């Protein structure tokens, strides 16, 4: 795939496409249309997602209303309580939160939420954005069901400028008014098979959904277009292993698409030899990385290939926060490729994630390297990557998936 077609697809999909929405479906159909234009036969695999429509969300600070957005899936409330700012959720800090509405610096992770629940917090406030940005955008957050586990306290999200003002002005009491309706929606994965000479597969993943504030060109239509480039390359040539491409929906809500795909295909796990995930490539600046949830030998293989190709790549073992993780968690060796920018030259999950972050020549280069790696894996006489997940990676998976706390924090 040439850079001109890559750019065309990136521009055509530069709209917000959040989980379970018509826009997400439209993007899935765009990906399918590209595949069909090559004579290929993709299909959709749907899965349920929890959805919510917010009718009313207000935050009052000492009687004065301040801008906010309600947390979806956090229930309904009309609640007034003292405000406590909590920069840390250490045990000493948590002694202050009973019966209070808590402003947290940490976001609403599983352990933060359950610490607040156990300590008796009545509600919560999070924030995003940057006090140095010119906008006052507020992201639409949700209390993910696998975080709340059905135990709800109401929450709202504000802009960082508002959060700072609440603390700087010494606001004593806040009131949250939240009214919403929950329902069951539908998201989908786009799946394309390029069969090989065996019934074993390399599974490629990339998510195509975005967060509410972003058109998500860098995160992650670049990865989705990268998968299209790989499919275009290998539809033209034979390969020993089958290549399966999965464009995942609802990644931004906690890897829901890849989790649903892995769960639905349990009978095929033994035939999934490797997962290759793409999440953010093609940026004009930044370094190319590979994070391998697999044996250490794969790290060295990728670095050696980079030297052979004159393509700088930094590889390591670990867990990458993307769609490779559900595969690794089921014992399937997995890796994620990405080109990561610094915060001054590229940013995500906001209005600044646009095509301006990218360089189309870099998209071609990144895709070409991933194709070179794929060619070696797909045509290997025997899959060289051992089917083992090192213990330290298992431990990191347990932390990432909230099965245990990170004892280093």
| 310 shares a domain with 206 | yes
| 338 shares a domain with 261 | yes
Residue 131 · residue 114 · CB < 8 Å: no
Q: What is the pLDDT along the chain (409 residues), one digit of tens a residue?
A: 999 999 999 999 999 999 999 999 999 999 999 999 999 999 999 999 999 999 999 999 999 999 999 999 999 999 999 999 999 999 999 999 999 999 999 889 999 999 999 999 999 999 999 999 999 999 999 999 999 999 999 999 999 999 999 999 999 999 999 999 999 999 999 999 999 999 999 999 999 999 999 999 999 999 999 999 999 999 999 999 999 999 999 999 999 999 999 999 999 999 999 999 999 999 999 999 999 999 999 999 999 999 999 999 999 999 999 999 999 999 999 999 999 999 899 999 999 999 999 999 999 999 999 999 999 999 999 999 999 999 999 999 999 999 999 877 6
| 177 shares a domain with 318 | no
CATH number at residue 131: 3.50.30.30
| 250 shares a domain with 108 | no
What is the 8-class DSSP label of residue 342? P
Asked if omega into 220 is within 30° of 0 (cis), the reply is yes
How many distinct structural domains can be found in the chain? 2
What DSSP string runs through 81-100?
EEEEEES--SHHHHTT-TTS
**In this structure, is residue 405 part of a structural domain?**
no
Would you state the pLDDT for residue 70? 98
Domain boundary among the residues 151, 182, 213 is at 182
Token output for 385: 């990557």
| 154 shares a domain with 276 | no
Taking alpha carbons only, the member of 213, 207, 194 closest to residue 260 is 207
Q: What is the pTM of this model?
A: 0.97
| 165 shares a domain with 88 | yes
Would you state the pLDDT for residue 268? 98
**In this structure, is residue 296 part of a structural domain?**
yes
| 248 shares a domain with 375 | yes
**In this structure, is residue 396 part of a structural domain?**
yes
Residue 316: Cβ within 10 Å count: 13
Would you state the pLDDT for residue 407? 75
| 177 shares a domain with 213 | no
Domain boundary among the residues 182, 211, 235 is at 182
**In this structure, is residue 173 part of a structural domain?**
yes
**In this structure, is residue 201 part of a structural domain?**
yes
CATH number at residue 192: 3.40.630.10
| 38 shares a domain with 84 | no
Q: What confidence tens digit (pLDDT) does each residue in 181-233 have? A: 999 999 999 999 999 999 999 999 999 999 999 999 999 999 999 999 999 99
Count Cα neighbours of 46 within 13 Å in the Cβ-side half-sphere. 9
**In this structure, is residue 286 part of a structural domain?**
yes
Token output for 270: 């033994």
Going by their DSSP bridges, the two strands 123-128 and 155-159 should be labelled as: parallel
**In this structure, is residue 407 part of a structural domain?**
no
What DSSP string runs through 221-283?
IHHHHHHHHHHHHHTTS--SSEEEEEEES-GGGTSHHHHHHHHHTGGGGGGEEEEEEE-S--B
Would you state the pLDDT for residue 409? 61
Looking up tokens 């998201």 gives 187
Phi, then psi, of 69 in degrees rounded to 5: -130, 135
Distances (CA, A) of 370 to 70, 278, 313: 41, 9, 11
Range of the domain at 97: 58-182
């Amino acid at each position: 795939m040439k850079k001109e077609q890559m750019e065309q697809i990136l521009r055509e999909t530069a709209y917000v496409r959040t989980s379970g929405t018509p826009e997400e479906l439209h993007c899935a159909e765009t990906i399918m249309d590209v595949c069909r234009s090559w004579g290929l036969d993709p299909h959709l695999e749907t899965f349920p997602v929890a959805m919510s429509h917010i009718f009313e969300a207000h935050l009052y600070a000492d009687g004065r209303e301040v801008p906010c957005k309600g947390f979806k899936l956090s229930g309904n409330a009309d609640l007034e309580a003292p405000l406590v700012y909590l920069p840390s959720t250490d045990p000493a800090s948590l002694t202050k939160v009973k019966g209070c509405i808590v402003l947290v610096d940490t976001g609403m992770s599983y352990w933060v939420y359950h610490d607040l629940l156990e300590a008796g917090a009545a509600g919560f406030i999070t924030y995003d954005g940057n006090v140095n940005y010119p906008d006052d955008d507020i992201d639409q957050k949700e209390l993910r069901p696998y975080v709340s586990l059905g135990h709800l306290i109401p929450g709202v999200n504000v802009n960082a400028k508002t959060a700072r003002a609440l603390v700087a002005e010494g606001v004593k009491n806040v009131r949250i008014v939240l009214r919403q309706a929950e329902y069951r929606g539908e998201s989908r994965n786009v799946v394309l098979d390029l069969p090989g000479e065996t019934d074993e597969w390399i599974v490629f993943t990339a998510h195509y959904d975005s967060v509410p504030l972003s058109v998500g060109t860098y995160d992650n239509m670049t990865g989705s277009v990268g998968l299209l480039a790989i499919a275009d390359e290998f539809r033209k040539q034979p390969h020993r292993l089958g290549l399966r491409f999965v464009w995942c929906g609802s990644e931004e809500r906690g890897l829901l698409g890849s989790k649903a795909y892995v769960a639905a295909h349990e009978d095929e796990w033994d035939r999934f030899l490797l997962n290759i995930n793409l999440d953010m490539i093609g940026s004009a600046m930044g370094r190319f990385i590979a994070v391998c949830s697999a044996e250490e030998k794969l790290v060295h293989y990728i670095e050696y290939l980079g030297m052979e190709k004159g393509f700088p790549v930094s590889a390591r073992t670990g867990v990458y926060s993307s769609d490779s993780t559900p595969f690794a968690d089921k014992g399937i060796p997995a890796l994620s490729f990405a080109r990561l920018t610094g915060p001054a030259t590229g940013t995500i999950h906001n209005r600044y994630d646009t095509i301006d972050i990218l360089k189309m020549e870099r998209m071609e280069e990144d895709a070409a390297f991933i194709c070179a790696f794929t060619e070696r894996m797909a045509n290997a006489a025997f899959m060289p990557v051992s089917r083992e997940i090192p213990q330290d990676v298992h431990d990191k998976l347990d932390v990432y998936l909230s099965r245990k706390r990170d004892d280093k924090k």
